[in-house]
Amino acid sequence: MNSQPRKALGPFKQLITMNALPLKGALSDAQLEIISDAGVILNEDRVERVGKFSEIKSECKQDNIPIDFIDKPVVGLPAFVDAHTHICFGGSRARDYAMRVGGKTYLEIAKEGGGIWDTVQKTRAESLEELENGVKMRLELLKKQGIGTVEVKSGYGLTINEELKMLQAIHNANQSSELDLIATCLPAHIVPKDYSGDAMDYVQWMLKEFFPIVKKEQLSNRADIFIEESAFGEKESRQYLSALQKMGFVLTIHADQFSVGGSKLGVEYGALSVDHLEASGDPEVEMLAKSEVIPVALPGASLGLGEPFTPARKLLDAGASLAIASDWNPGSAPMGNLLTQASILGAYEKLSIAETIAGMTVRAAAALGLKDRGKLNSGYLADIVAFPTNDYREIFYHQGQMQPMHLWKKGQLIL
């Protein structure tokens, strides 16, 4: 907490506020609010107002508000939100990667002992402290990339105790981190190979035994499921989604990664987001555009697997929203660099820079149900990232090579 509740930051050569933009549909760069030679007044952890630095400076002098001067040219944006990650895990899947670039498919690798099950075994072998330290290490890397809020999933434990261990590691890391972590339950990642029943038995076990504990201990209010041939089909997915909806969990779905069907259930059950969508066709695009569900593109998985990108351009042109997240995980998306991934997706899918920024800020926040960040406006969290440039377009032109100079989280300088 600041010793004095109000302070100012500036000057910014440009401040990209992300104000007055629709949540859904295509965006042009002309729609961006860009304040040149800008400043920000903060009140504790919130933005009080943004404006011209000359006006901010006069107000500060009049009201005796201290100014944290920025002595080099920077462009300021809302801190990025990574709305889909799996950064709580043990081990590595470099073997999988070598097999994949050698020509093996995702499903073939899984059948040969790789894939998610490999990470499950390695994650189970780690202690709570080791898992927590792994999350903290990865958060330090994300901080340097200008990310202020990170969604983190369980899903590599796949027993009640191991899933709870993961959620506890995420909780502990959040307690000590400068960033905000949003925990999501993903016990329905795959049916573990050491489980004696079928997929429906497994889902019912988790619904009966696991989720009541999660709710009681307030470890998460979000639940995810991987709907796919190699994971969970429609019947058990309906059972899972319906029960969790009644329990009050916010729903999100790994959908349409290799085959369609998941996005349809996401719309039907009112999921907050459906993530992946690489296999989505025109019917799925149209359906999502007519819904309030937020599609989340995960270009890191496309790059990691050599698969097509989410049809981002079609989704936006049809009137859907679009968030962009890293999917950082040890298997299909080991890169973990959101800015690079988003810039590459933008190049392939012909996204405007406005659409790309929105997908990493205000629309990504909406994909997590967070209404207090993703913009630089009065009352929003003072989560601000600053890049060493005079022109915001340079950030994406360099496709991740340009790193942030500063990051303020809830008004505190942490980078």
Q: State the pLDDT confidence band at 43, using cuts at 50, 70 and 90.
A: very high
Hey, is 60 helix, strand or coil?
Answer: helix
Region 86-104: mean pLDDT is 95
Q: How confident is the model at residue 3 (pLDDT cuts 50, 70, 90)?
A: low
Closest among 337, 348, 347 to 307, alpha carbons compared: 348
Strands (E), 227-359: 250-255, 273-276, 294-297, 323-324
For residues 5-30, give the mean pLDDT: 98
415: how many CB neighbours lie within 10 A of its CB? 17
Evaluate if residue 316 carries a pLDDT over 70: yes
282-309 residue pLDDT tens: 999 999 999 999 999 999 999 999 999 9
How far apart CA 75 and CA 13 sit, in angstroms, is 6
Tell me the mean pLDDT in the region 234-259: 98
Question: What is the predicted pLDDT for the residue at 212?
Answer: 98
The DSSP 8-state label assigned to residue 103 in this structure reads: T
CA dist., res. 182 & res. 84, Å (int): 10
Per-residue b or e along 148-162, where b marks 16 or more CB atoms closer than 10 Å to that residue's CB: bbbbbbbbbbbbbeb
Residue 2 has a pLDDT of 44
Indicate whether 311 pLDDT > 70: yes
Count CB neighbours of 217 within 10 A: 12
Side-chain half-sphere exposure of 165, counting CA atoms within 13 A: 19
Q: What is the greatest pairwise CA distance in the chain?
A: 71
Instruction: Quote helix, strand, coil % in the chain, to nearest 5.
Output: 40, 20, 40
Q: Is residue 4 pLDDT above 90, yes or no? A: no
pLDDT of 6 above 50? yes
**In the chain, what are the domains?**
6-79+374-413 (2.30.40.10), 81-367 (3.20.20.140)
Q: Are 55 and 41 in contact (CB under 8 A)?
A: no
Q: How many residues does the chain have?
A: 415
Mean predicted confidence (pLDDT) in 395-413? 98
Closest CA to 272 of 373, 181, 184, 148: 184
pLDDT, averaged across the chain:
97
Distance separating alpha carbons of residues 170 and 106, to the nearest angstrom = 27
Residue pLDDT, tens place only, 96-155: 999 999 999 877 898 898 999 999 999 999 999 999 999 999 999 999 999 999 999 999
CB-count exposure of residue 101 (10 Å: 0-12, 13-18, 19+): exposed
Q: Give percent of the chain with pLDDT exceeding 70.
A: 99
Displacement of CA 125 from its chain's centroid (Å): 26
